[in-house]
Amino acid sequence: MREGWKTVKLKEISTKIGDGLHGTPKYDENGSYFFINGNNLNNGSILIKEDTKRIDEKVYNKIKKELNDRTILIGINGTLGNIGLYKGERIALGKSACYINLVLDVDKNYIRYVFEGQHFQNYAYLFATGSTIKNLGLKAIRNYKINLPPLKTQRKIASILSAHDDL
């Protein structure tokens, strides 16, 4: 491995890894929060669709998770491997969305590209359980190993890949 690079488990570079509500909240078509799942995650974004259910603030406060500007979301049930970066959207998570809050000395965009890469995508399908609807457990997420370069290199790699995406 290159100098300065290290192999780490995801749990070593995260402050929190969890998933959303394992159940159905009380929906409110006038609610100000969207209840999202893995199918709302795509190409690093959170997609609010026409049929995305809503919840009110009271329900949100009961089921909210600690999402912040260091949070990456991954589809872990049914829609395996879909990725979204949390950017302050008014959302609550269903069980098919996993959230990962990264430590400060890791580039969130670099980790996004790691998750979108073939290695993680293969890993997700290899470690998923279930015959009809595939489910990737949080233990498998926590134990996923990443080749992590120094922060400056992470930022450079993410910048190059982002520029490529923009094309």
Please check whether residue 8 is in contact with residue 149, taking contact to mean a CB–CB distance below 8 angstroms.
no
pLDDT band at 28 (very low <50, low <70, confident <90, very high): very high
**Is the predicted pLDDT of residue 165 greater than 80, yes or no?**
no
Angle value at C-alpha 69, between 53 and 87, nearest 5 degrees: 40
Residue that has been written with the tokens 């233990």 in this structure: 139
Give me the domains of the chain, ranges plus CATH numbers: 6-166 (3.90.220.20)
pLDDT band at 166 (very low <50, low <70, confident <90, very high): low
What's the token pair of residue 72? Answer: 């990456």
| Distance of alpha carbon 54 from alpha carbon 4, whole angstroms | 45
**Is the predicted pLDDT of residue 86 greater than 70, yes or no?**
yes
pLDDT band at 131 (very low <50, low <70, confident <90, very high): confident
| Distance of alpha carbon 108 from alpha carbon 154, whole angstroms | 9
**Is the predicted pLDDT of residue 96 greater than 90, yes or no?**
yes
- pLDDT for res 3: 84
Please check whether residue 31 is in contact with residue 55, taking contact to mean a CB–CB distance below 8 angstroms.
yes
**H helix or E strand, kind and range, residue 109:** helix 108-116
| Distance of alpha carbon 83 from alpha carbon 43, whole angstroms | 6
Average pLDDT, the chain: 94
| Distance of alpha carbon 114 from alpha carbon 87, whole angstroms | 19
Residue that has been written with the tokens 């159905």 in this structure: 24
pLDDT digits (tens, 9 = 90+) for 47-56: 999 999 999 9
pLDDT band at 114 (very low <50, low <70, confident <90, very high): very high
What's the token pair of residue 104? Answer: 């400060």
158's torsion region: left (phi>0), alpha (psi -120 to 50) or beta?
A: alpha
| Distance of alpha carbon 62 from alpha carbon 48, whole angstroms | 21
- pLDDT for res 163: 82
